[in-house]
Amino acid sequence: MTAIPTQAELILPAPAKLNLMLHILGRRADGYHELQTLFQFLDHGDELGFALRQDGEIRLHTPIEGVAHDSNLIVRAARRLQEASGTPLGADIWLDKRLPMGGGIGGGSSDAATTLLGLDHLWSTQLGEDRLAELGLALGADVPVFVRGRAAFAEGVGERLTAVELEEPWFLVAVPQVFVSTAEVFTDPELTRDTPPIKVRSLLAGGGRNDCQPVVERRYPEVRNALILLNKFVPTRLTGTGACVFGSFPNRDDADKVARQLPGTLPSFVAQGRNISMLHRKLQALAKK
C-alpha cells in the first residue's frame, strides 16, 4: 500500500462492491451481454488523494504494474471530466491500492467513479450525478453504480439501476491469488446466456445465483478450491466474474471467527455490506462543512 502524501487536499475512499447475484439473459448484437445483478457496497476499498494543479495536467503518481499511465481508468476519468466541463484545472492524484485487480469487487471502476466525484468536488465543476454517471458508463459498465453510490438492482449491461434497500450483513471475502479475465469468462462457449429475467421483488424475497461461477470454477482451480473451502463454513458465492468469493454473517465476530480458520495461502478480509457507499457518506459529510 502507498501512503497518500500530506499535499493531497482531498482524500476519498473507493469502496469495493459485491454482486450478490448475476444472471446473464442473453447476448446482444453488439457483443455485450444483457444481465441482471444486485450490487451492494462494502466498507472496505482503495483510497485516492487529489491536489489541484493550475496547468491542466493530470498526473497519477502511483504506477500500477502492467497499466500505462494514460490507460489507467483514473487518468481517463479525470480527462473525461476535464473535456465535459471545460475546466482549465488539472490534478495530482495518488492511489492507496488495497483491492485486487481481477477480483470482481470493482477496484478499477470504483477508482474511476471516485475520481469523477472527487474532481467534480475539487474543481467545482458541478456536473451533477446524472452527467457523471453518463461519463462513467463510457469508462465501464460498473462505474455508474459507484457514481450513484446506492445499492441497486442493475439491468441492461449494468447501467439501468433501481435503488434497493437490503440487509447490511457482514461479509467474509476470500481473495484467491489469481487474475480472472472478464473477457475470457464472457466469451466462454459454456457460459449460461438464457436465464429468464427476474423481477426485483422476487429477487429481494431470496434467490438468484451467479451464472459466471461454473465457468470460473472450471477455468480457475484456485477459485474452485476457495469456494469448496469457504462453503464448509457458510454458503459461498462468486462476485462478478471473480476471483473473489464471499459469504455473509449476522455480525463481525462470526465472520472474523471463520476468517481466522482460513489458511495463510488464501488472503481474506471482513467488511460490512452498506446500501450507501462510504464514498457518498464522506462526500455528504464534506458538503455539510
- Res 289: pLDDT: 79
> Cα(37)–Cα(56) distance, rounded to whole angstroms?
38
- Res 266: pLDDT: 97
Cα distance from N-terminal residue to C-terminal residue, the chain: 29
Grid cell locating 191: 457460459
Mean pLDDT of the chain: 95
Task: Lowest mean pLDDT of 80-89, 192-201, 252-261, name the range.
Answer: 192-201
What is the helix (H) or strand (E) element at residue 21, kind and residue range?
Answer: strand 10-27
Phi-psi region of 102 (alpha: psi -120 to 50; beta: other; left: phi over 0): left
pLDDT (tens digit, 9 = 90+) per residue, 27-71?
988 888 999 999 999 999 999 999 999 999 999 999 888 899 999
> Cα(223)–Cα(244) distance, rounded to whole angstroms?
8
Is 100 annotated as ligand-binding?
A: yes
- Res 271: pLDDT: 98
> Cα(65)–Cα(204) distance, rounded to whole angstroms?
39
Q: What is the mean pLDDT of residues 251-274?
A: 98
Please state the domain extents for the chain.
10-164, 170-274
Residue 275 has pLDDT above 90, yes or no: yes
* CA-closest candidate to residue 73, choices 55, 54, 46, 52: 46
Is 66 annotated as ligand-binding?
A: no
Residue 102 has pLDDT above 90, yes or no: no
Strand-pair partners of 35: 24
Q: Are 10-164 and 170-274 equal in CATH topology?
A: no
pLDDT (tens digit, 9 = 90+) per residue, 126-164?
999 999 999 999 999 999 999 999 999 999 988 899 999
Catalytic residue among 43, 92, 120, 142: 142
Is 26 annotated as ligand-binding?
A: no
Q: What are phi and psi of 132, to 5 degrees?
A: -65, -40
| 5 confidence band (pLDDT: 50, 70, 90) | very high
* Third-level CATH fold of 10-164: Ribosomal Protein S5; domain 2 (3.30.230)
pTM (2 d.p.): 0.95
- Res 157: pLDDT: 86
Is 202 annotated as ligand-binding?
A: no
Catalytic residue among 17, 43, 46, 282: 17
* Third-level CATH fold of 170-274: Alpha-Beta Plaits (3.30.70)
Q: What is the mean pLDDT of residues 276-284?
A: 97
Q: Which residue has the higher pLDDT, 166 or 203?
A: 166
Whether 282 is a known active-site residue: answer no
DSSP strand pairing (58-60 vs 90-96): parallel
Whether 142 is a known active-site residue: answer yes
Is 158 annotated as ligand-binding?
A: no
- Cβ neighbors of 162 (< 8 A, separation 6 or more) are 152, 153, 154, 155, 200
107-122 helix and 278-288 helix, angle to the nearest 10 degrees: 10
| 2 confidence band (pLDDT: 50, 70, 90) | low
Is 110 annotated as ligand-binding?
A: yes
Q: What is the mean pLDDT of residues 240-268?
A: 97
